[in-house]
Amino acid sequence: MKSKHRPIQIIFLLSGLLLIASATAQEQSVRPGINRHFEDPDWQRWVNTFERPGREVYDRRHAIVAASKVRPGMEVADIGAGTGLFTRLFAPAVEPDGTVYAIDISRTFIDNILRTCREQGLSNVQGIVNPPDDIGLPANSIDLAFITDTYHHFEYPRQTMASIHQALRSEGRVIIIDFRRDPRISSKWVMGHVRGNKAQVIQEMQAAGFRLVDDRPLMRTNYFLEFVKSV
């Protein structure tokens, strides 16, 4: 005797297989080649680029740290850490029991961040060389993911944000600082280089399971967005 429930079971099975396939499918790169300059970077060249007066996030670095609300004992991931500007600012702010994870796709950057941290007596920094679609941290391991002028460099934003979502603890926060893509104030370089504007980033973050809690007018050419893990 045939079960009258068999067609329903088949539908549920197929639906489950489709969900698994969707979750495991490799996301296509949204900007192939955007990170080629960081495959074998000249350390000093990027220090001179990222840590110079006139760069807005450098000039406003202390205000950014204060707005990030880091405190002793926190576990913070500096994603796309670059030359370690914010890694070295966050490290003393989370002492004595907190940790800062400097995460970057470039081993040159990570090796030099760890070297400069040792030279400054900062012992609570760990370095991670990550693949372009995963930040390389275990589940429920961080309180804050900090992403400055890096979101537009994510080749695989959906998968990268999924790994960040997993790594964050309940009510964990994400701060995204990136260039305003607005022809009224943005340079031609920004308009050609940056993938999406602030509204698009907010939409993508909401789709990734985050809720916007602050859009702070901290800078002119960069925006400061704070999200909380919501699902």
Question: Residue 152 maps to which CATH number?
Answer: 3.40.50.150
Among the ranges given (37-41, 54-58, 118-122, 209-213), the one the predictor scored with the smallest mean pLDDT: 37-41
Kindly state whether residue 87 falls inside one of the protein's structural domains.
Answer: yes
Count of domains forming the chain: 1
Task: Provide the domain limits for residue 191.
Answer: 42-229
Kindly state whether residue 26 falls inside one of the protein's structural domains.
Answer: no
Predicted TM-score (pTM) of the model is 0.86
Which amino acid makes up residue 157?
P
Kindly state whether residue 93 falls inside one of the protein's structural domains.
Answer: yes
Q: Which two tokens stand for residue 198?
A: 């602030």
Question: Within its chain, how far is the Cα of 68 from the centroid?
Answer: 14
Greatest Cα-to-Cα distance within the chain, rounded to the nearest angstrom: 80
Kindly state whether residue 16 falls inside one of the protein's structural domains.
Answer: no
Residue-wise pLDDT tens digits, 174-231: 999 999 999 998 989 889 888 889 999 999 999 999 999 999 999 999 999 999 999 7
Whether a cis peptide bond, with omega within 30° of 0, leads into 138 is no
Beta strand 125-129 pairing with 210-216: unpaired
Task: With H, G, I as helix, E, B as strand and everything else as coil, classify residue 73.
Answer: coil
Q: What's the CA angle centered on 54, arms 52 and 55, to 5 degrees?
A: 70
Which amino acid makes up residue 228?
V
Kindly state whether residue 10 falls inside one of the protein's structural domains.
Answer: no
